[in-house]
Structures are given as structure tokens and as C-alpha cells.
Structure 1
Amino acid sequence: MSAEEDFAARLAQATPRTWATQAIVVANVAIWLAMLATGTDPMRPDVQSLIDWGANLLPLTVDQPWRLMTATILHAGLVHLGFNMWVLWDAGRIAERFYGSLQFLLIYLISGLFGSLASLFFAARTGVSVGASGAIFGVVGALLAALFTKQSKLPPGLAASMRSSMLLFVGYSLFMGFISSFIDNAAHIGGLLSGFAAAVILAERFDWEEYRRSAVQRSILAIGAAMVAAFLVWKMVPVPVA
């Protein structure tokens, strides 16, 4: 058995079921189906429908902060949903095995929150912002954190190939975001950076001794740091234009 196969087998043994990734995918698809049931266009939902379901939009979000999270389970059509769920299914199952299901959920939620907060300074300042991509970029950021900070504990071949593919995905996605007006790059960057930061604090499950010794304390620290950072960013959110 190669080092990569042995590593994958140990990860699968530590986290046999990636139930958190599956649950997130099911939740996103269920919300989309519920929107269809109320008459929303499956390919191009109108702006008012997205707002009614909880889209992120600065003038509304400043009074209804819950939109920061509800926006992360809404999608602007089947293509948007399909692409996000495809990426989440691929990257999420790996990240869930890297960090364990509960820490993975924590990374996902923190990244979704900071992706929405970042969007308030750009796309959501004047238009609606929806989608799981901020949280998904956070998942990718968490993988990059492991690949760059714990590479000595990973099989060299696996680390090199994953690092290249993750960086290529991030680079291409951000490039497309900069040249496409309909892509919320602020949410992508906010999610990516917060996911990376959260993962640096958390303990990776493949570093079993460290995980067993400090996973709970590190999770509490990550939650506390995220709450403080979110509060500070929220205080800097621009005032909506009347």
C-alpha cells in the first residue's frame, strides 16, 4: 500500500461518513426545490423572490442580520446551484475528513458568515448576493491551510497534487470573478481568508495526537475569534444609501 493509500485509509477510518457535507448539499437543494414550489423560475429567479427568501442586500441586512446566513443557502438558478454543490461535494468530503465533521461545519459556517460580510462592502452594497460559494471557498481555504502548515504530516505526492489543484481552482475562480460582473468575488475572498484562518486555529484530524489533545480548546478559540472579528467587521459595514 502506498503512502497516499494508507493516509486515505486512515482518514476514512477516523471519519467513516461525511454526513456534514451531505447534509449541507441536501439543505441547499431542498431550499431550491421549496423556491420552485412557490413559483420561482428554476433558471433565473427574479430579484424580489431572492429577497423574499433571505438574500443579502445591505439596506435590508443592516436591519436583518440573519440574511448574512440565509443568503448562503440560496442560489440564482439551477446552474449556480449545480456548480456550487459539485465543488462542495468534491472539496467538502476531503475537508470533512481532514478536520472531522463538527469542525468542518464550524469552518463552513464561519466562512459563509464572513463571505456575506465581505459582500456588504461590494456586491451586496447595491445588489442582491446569494450562494454557498463564500462558504465553499472557506472549505478550500481550510484545505490550503492544512496543505501549507502541516505538509510534513501529509504524503508528499498527495500534498503537492492537492496544493496545485486547489491553487488553480482559486486562481481561476477569482480571475473569472474579476472579469465577470455577476460573480461576487468579495464573498469568495472573505470566505477563503476566514476559512484559512479558522483552519489554522483548529486541529487537523490526521494529526491525531494534536487533535485528541486540543480539538475542543481550539474549536472554542476559533469560535471566540470569529465572533470578535465578525463584530468588528459589522461595525465597519457602510451605511446604506437612501
Structure 2
Amino acid sequence: MTEESPQTTATPVCYRHPDRGTYVTCVRCDRPICPDCMNPASVGFQCPECVREGRRTTIPARTVFGGNLSGEQGTVTRALIGINIAAWLLTVVAAVLTSEVSVRELGRFVIFGGVTGVTDWGAAVPAYSYFGGATGGIAAGEFWRLFTADFLHYGLIHLAFNMYALWILGRECERLLGRGRFLALYLFAGVGGSVAVYLFSPLNEASAGASASIFGLLGAMFFFLRRLRADPRGLVFLIILNFSLSFVVANISIWGHIGGFVVGAAVGALMAYLPAGPNRARLQLIGLVGVGVALTVLIALRTAAFGIL
């Protein structure tokens, strides 16, 4: 009877931790790995180095419009809804703390809203004009209103309608575009609505609400459906219905809806129809910059007409 040598009976050790014995090997490089180095694979386990190498060489999955698949979780849509709700709560709390709203008026204010210090500060107002001169508003250099107006609402009913629409449309657009592209679409459409208000609305008229961005999502979705060769007739009916309500229901910013829709449709067309390939992301970014430049020029021309620039 012969004795086995130590070399034939020794337990293999992890190549990263020589003090740990193991009988498990990486399915890619066949090196021994301990439990701390095991990464589950479709079959067996892989070592950390092979996992890193696989990530470098694997092309990540993309949506049809070039975004990553993270948008399927609807994270940005949820975050935007949260921001809108938080801004509305801030409006209510600030109005109560500053005695702008009495306890007797609070119930009606919560439901239907009203002008407060917060909305007065952040709504899209072309100009607070007295005796023909611009003393406040966008024309007086308060350009933050072009952005903040999209996150302020007049009352719970106003907020609820917009957030419901954002929940339905936002998740679908985010799924198709991915997080970053969807956020760009939402913000550009919102600013586009405020720019239209600045260009065409009466000077002292205030406008606020996420409806500009929501109309932008409607405009973009039309091009998404066309690009995917899906039937857009149901969406077209919804667009016509919403625009009809804009002209019928009182206290609705028509120009905000039109501006958001036009800019959202433009951004959606860029995302949908720019050619696929390694340069698509760069081309989409250039297109967004072009839209931003066009909006900036319109803002500058309108402000110059007031004699501010």
C-alpha cells in the first residue's frame, strides 16, 4: 500500500485569499474562489475579476430611443410627483404661518387654492406692470419663474388632476426614454410652457402648474407611438379633448398648455427620430441644446421689448 503525497491531497485555496480552502472554481477562468469571492452567474459562480471584465465588454441593454432600462422603475416620475406635492404643502404651510389664510378659510384654500406669497414668488408672470412700466415678473429679471412655475399648484384639485396625469403618462415616457432623457423632456416642456406665457399672456396674469409638462408628454408620446408604428388615434382624441377643455374651463393657462405641447413634441421628435447608433446620444444632446438656445433667444427678444436688455 502506497502513501499519497501532500501535493495530491492538499485542498485548493482561493486565488485571492490563500488562507481559505475551497473546491469551487470560477466558471470563466477556472480559478478557485472562496464564498467571499463568489458572484452568482447563470451557471455556477464567477470571480470578481471576471465579473468586472464582463461588465466592460458587455453592451448594456437600451430602449428603442437610446435610454437605459432603469426607466422601467418609474423613479423619476415618482420623484417629480413627490416634489410637486412637497411644493404644494409648502404653499399651504407658508400661507398659514404668515396668516395669509385664516382658519375659517383654510378648508376652501386647501381644495381650491389661491394666490399666496409662495405662488406670487414662483408663478410665471410676464410682468407686474404699473403705469406701463415693468416692476416685477419675468420681464424684470425674475427668470426663475420660468422654472418654478411648473412645480406650483393652486389647490388640491389642481394638484390631483396634474399628478394623476403625470403618473399615467410619466411612467410610460420614462420607460421608453430612460431616466435622464425623460427628465429632460419634462423640464424642457415645463419651461416651454412658461416661455409661451411670457410671450403671449397678459402682463399681470400669473400661471402655475405641471400641466405644461404634461401637455409636453402628450406631444412627445404622439411621436413615440408613430415611431413604434402603434395606433395614435386614442392619444390624438385625448389631446383634442384636453385642448378643448383648455379653451372652455375658466382660469386655465392656454398659452402654457400650447407652449408645453409644442416644446414637448419637438423634444419627443428628436428622441424618436434621430438615427440609432453610437452617436445617437450625442445627437440627442445637440438637439436639446438647440431647443434650449431657441427658447433663450425668445426670452431675450421678449425681455428686450420691455426695455430691460
> Is the structural similarity TM-score above 0.5?
yes
Say yes or no: does 1:132 pair with 2:197.
no
SS in 2 for 1:16: helix
TM-score (norm 2): 0.65
**CA distance in structure 1 between the partners assigned to 2:205 and 2:118 by the alignment:** 11
Q: How does 1:24-173 map to 2 (within 5 A)?
A: 24-38=80-94, 39=96, 41-59=109-127, 60-62=137-139, 63-123=141-201, 125-148=203-226, 150-152=227-229, 159-160=230-231, 163-173=232-242
Cα distance change of structure 1 residues 44 and 53 upon mapping to structure 2, 3 Å threshold: farther
Q: Which has the higher helix share?
A: 1
| 1:226 counterpart (283, 288, 291) | 291
Measure how far apart 1:49 and its partner are: 3.0
Count of equivalent residues: 219
Measure how far apart 1:240 and its partner are: 5.8
**CA distance in structure 2 between the partners assigned to 1:61 and 1:111 by the alignment:** 18
**CA distance in structure 1 between the partners assigned to 2:90 and 2:119 by the alignment:** 15
**CA distance in structure 2 between the partners assigned to 1:105 and 1:199 by the alignment:** 12
**CA distance in structure 2 between the partners assigned to 1:218 and 1:165 by the alignment:** 30
Name the stretch that deviates more: 133-142 or 14-23.
14-23
**CA distance in structure 2 between the partners assigned to 1:214 and 1:18 by the alignment:** 26
Measure how far apart 1:203 and its partner are: 4.9
**CA distance in structure 2 between the partners assigned to 1:233 and 1:141 by the alignment:** 21
Q: List 4+ stretches of structure 1 deviating above 4 A.
A: 11-14, 238-241
Measure how far apart 1:196 and its partner are: 1.1
Q: Percent identity?
A: 29
**CA distance in structure 1 between the partners assigned to 2:70 and 2:113 by the alignment:** 41
SS in 2 for 1:223: helix
- Structure 2 unmatched runs, 5+: 1-62, 102-108, 128-136
**CA distance in structure 1 between the partners assigned to 2:306 and 2:114 by the alignment:** 22
Say yes or no: does 1:192 pair with 2:248.
no
Q: How does 1:198-209 map to 2 (within 5 A)?
A: 198-203=267-272
SS in 1 for 2:72: coil
**CA distance in structure 2 between the partners assigned to 1:191 and 1:224 by the alignment:** 17
Letter matched to residue 86 of structure 2: A
Rg larger in structure: 2
TM-score (norm 1): 0.81
Higher RCO structure, 1 or 2 (CA under 8 Å, sep 6+)? 1
Could you list the per-position Cα deviations for residues 97-128 of structure 1 after superposition, in whole angstroms to 9, with x for gaps in the alignment? 11111100000111001100001233463311
Cα distance change of structure 1 residues 42 and 170 upon mapping to structure 2, 3 Å threshold: same
- Structure 2 match to 1:21: 77
Structure 1 contact 141–196 (Cα < 8 Å) conserved: yes
Structure 2 contact 212–256 (Cα < 8 Å) conserved: yes
Letter matched to residue 220 of structure 1: L
Cα distance change of structure 1 residues 124 and 183 upon mapping to structure 2, 3 Å threshold: same
- Structure 1 unmatched runs, 5+: 1-6, 153-158
Superposed CA RMSD: 2.6
SS in 1 for 2:240: helix
Measure how far apart 1:47 and its partner are: 2.2
**CA distance in structure 1 between the partners assigned to 2:233 and 2:202 by the alignment:** 31
Structure 1 contact 108–138 (Cα < 8 Å) conserved: yes
Structure 1 contact 203–218 (Cα < 8 Å) conserved: no
